[in-house]
Every structure is written in C-alpha cells, then in structure tokens.
Amino acid sequence: MVKYVATAVALKCFSATPFTRRVYRRLGNRFGNKQRSTERMPGYYADRVKRIIRLAREQKIVSDGDRVLELGTGWLHWEALTLRLFFEIEAVLFDVWDNRQLAGLKNYVRQLDEMLDESFGLSAQEIAKARTLIEHILKVDTFDQLYDLLGFEYVVESSGSLERFADKSFQLVVSGGVLEHVNREALPTLFEETHRILVPSGWAVHSIDTADHLEHYDQTVSPKLYLQFSEVTWKLLCANEVQYINRMQRGEWLRLFHASGFDLVEEEVRRVDLSLLKIAPRFAGMDLKDLECTVLRVALRAR
C-alpha cells in the first residue's frame, strides 16, 4: 500500500500545473522510449494482434482498401500499425498529445516479427508479406518516413473532438488501453461522433483497462482497489490529470455503447475476486460481475 500512496502523491504533484504536466510528459517520453527500446514486449501486445486478425477473419471488421481511425495511439500506434501488416488499409492516428516513441515502436515490431507463425491464424504467404513490410519499417529514421511508407496520417487534437472528420468516412474505429483515460462526461459525445464518422454497419473495436492503474505500481493491493473510495475521497487522494482514469464499470460501458447506436457483437472479459474488498456506495448497487471486470474487450457494430 505504501507504493500505491506514494505513486498517487507523485502523480498529483505532476498534475498541479500546466508546466508540471509538460515536465511529466517529457520525462515519461524520454525514459519510456529508452525502456521500450530494449525491454521485452508484454505478451498482451501479441494477444491484441491475434485478436484483431481473428475479428477480421470471423467478423469481417476490416478489408483491403478500408480507412481506419485509431484513437489514442500513444507510444506505438500498435493497432493501426499491426493491421497494416496484413491489410492494405489507410489509417488516421489520432492523439490529444504527442507521446510517440520510435525506438520503442521498432523494438516491439522487431519482436513481433520473431513471433509470427500459424498461431496468429496466418498463412505462410501472409507471414512473408508482413515480414517484408516489417523489414522496411525497421529501416525508417523518422515518423514521417514511417507514415509515407504505410500511408498513415497523424493528427493531434488537444480537445479530443472528432468533428474534423466527415460523416461515414471510416470503416473501423479502434483503440487499445485508451477509453478508460477519457473524461467520463466527454464519453457520450465521443461515441456519438464515432457513430457519425463510421459507414453504415461499420465497426468499433476497443480494449478497455478497467483496473485501478495505481495498482500497476503496487501489486500488493487489489487490481480494483479504487472501488473502496467514494467520489470525494478518490478526487482528494488519488485522482490526477497525467494518468486520469474515469472508473467506468462494465455495465456503464455497455449501456453507453447501446445508447450511442452500437450493437455488442463480441465481448471478452477478465475478472478478479473482490471478496475481501469493501465496496464504496458509489459502486455498491452495481452487478458484482461488472465490478470484478479488469479488462473489457468489445467488438461493436453500428446500427
């Protein structure tokens, strides 16, 4: 619990002013890029690639020639980048600030190259095609060169608004580990806009980390420890701007998707035992299975 509290305090300090928030992001990008340029790629990155390939096979979420929007591409542009290895797509990479890390991206792509085999649901021809493109990716020196190679566009919009995009201009909107960081009051508008920019029966595929992100720094506590804090206590002690999480639960997400014009086609859920955790009144009326959810992965189709 000591690391949990210490991290909460540190993140609150970094959140204090626009200057400290800029310092946090600069330091995070500098040290994060150095770390990701040498570390082993977490296993869930490969899992995300397998999942998107399977959805393309089973649900036809994307095809050659489609236009894809990745929300919150962060360090690596992982969803759009790995889709491009297997499909001739155009992609727009959308961020609210620039966290790009080219050395980390190339390190992870290099490791993915070593992993590609039939377990990904790919043919020998598809693997060979992906490896050829990876070879070219590893030779780029700048992100501009990468975008020229892949046919990508990078957009930074600090407001998070999608209004610049035309109606029915994308076949797929995708994100990984992003939506839990969007202000909960902004989510209805974001999903209404997502629905607007998708073609009829277009797809939205998201992976949402509903766990307590402070637990990532202190794994002696419950992955859903934030459930014990009231809204007032959470804002006072733990909430911060540099690693904001909205504490949205599975049932809230599913209701939001439906209200925004999406049908849930596929769902994957990871859960954790909460039997030893005292639940705050803010969450007490919710379904236990929703509260137990730590990862929510959905494939949504626009009605």
Amino acid identity at 82: T
Q: 161 pLDDT band (50/70/90 cuts)?
A: very high
- Domains along the chain? 2-302 (3.40.50.150)
The alpha-helical segments, DSSP class H, found in the chain are: 2-14, 18-36, 43-59, 78-86, 102-115, 124-137, 143-150, 187-197, 231-233, 250-259, 281-284, 288-292
At 32-69, the pLDDT tens digits run: 888 899 999 999 999 999 999 999 999 999 999 999 99
pLDDT of amino acid 26: 87
What does the pLDDT read at residue 277? Answer: 94
According to DSSP, the β-strands at 293-302 and 262-271 are antiparallel
Say if CB 80 and CB 73 are below 8 A apart: yes
Over 90: is that where the pLDDT of 81 sits? yes
Q: Tell me how far apart the alpha carbons of residues 150 and 162 are, in angstroms, rounded to a whole number.
A: 22
Beta bridge partners of 152: 91
Is the dihedral angle over the CA atoms 209, 210, 215, 219 positive or is it negative? negative
